[in-house]
Amino acid sequence: MTLEVKISKELVPYKSAFAFLKRRVDSIKEHKNDDLLWILEHPLTFTSGLRSKENELLDKKIKLIKTNRGGKITLHNPGQKIIYFAIDLNKRKKDIRNLVNHIEKSIIEFLKLYKIIGLANKDNIGIWVDDRKIAAIGIRVTNWVAYHGCSINISNKLEPYKKIVPCGIDNTKVTSVVNETNVKIRNIEIKLKNIFLKNLKNI
């Protein structure tokens, strides 16, 4: 199955990325475009998913962007890698859990490169290092086209998490790759691309 890879070197505003993603989903539904894997970073942005609650926003001065992905309130900022998808499950297995499993597998495999043991948690979606969350996952499916994706904390500042209850969990239990290892971080986009492409072939 053809899967276009897009890697953005500059920060992409969240609203611009979301608009692009929605257009891509529409074109995939109309059989006018290939599936997409997009690796990027956002400027400091707080977004709320469909299960967000008002009391999870601790700093009421925050400008919160509402989105249609699954999940709750989360943070995006420079140093955090976003991996967005637009994937037509009509041409693959119509199995959302299978897709999420392969996203989890890809993140865990990526973290292993830095000697970090990541674990999935069936009660709290995302990837964890012991009791600290290092990656978030949020998916939406429309007409069996799955989109949005996941975020992995690499070298981003974690202080802004104190302004929210991230993904509904204690904001002190958030971590990043640089917090967990002394291994040098290089060629992140290439590593992510290779791992996700390999695993997505199996969905």
Spot the catalytic one: 111, 167, 177, 192: 167
- Phi, psi angle pair for 63, to nearest 5°: -90, 110
- Report the C-alpha gap between 102 and 146 in whole angstroms: 13
Is position 167 annotated as part of the catalytic site?
yes
Query: Do the Cβ atoms of 133 and 127 come closer than 8 Å?
Result: yes
Contacts of 47 (CB under 8 A, 6+ apart): 14, 64, 65, 66, 67, 69, 73, 74, 76
∠ CA 146-125-20, rounded to 5°: 30
Rg for the chain, CA atoms, rounded:
16
Active-site amino acid positions? 167
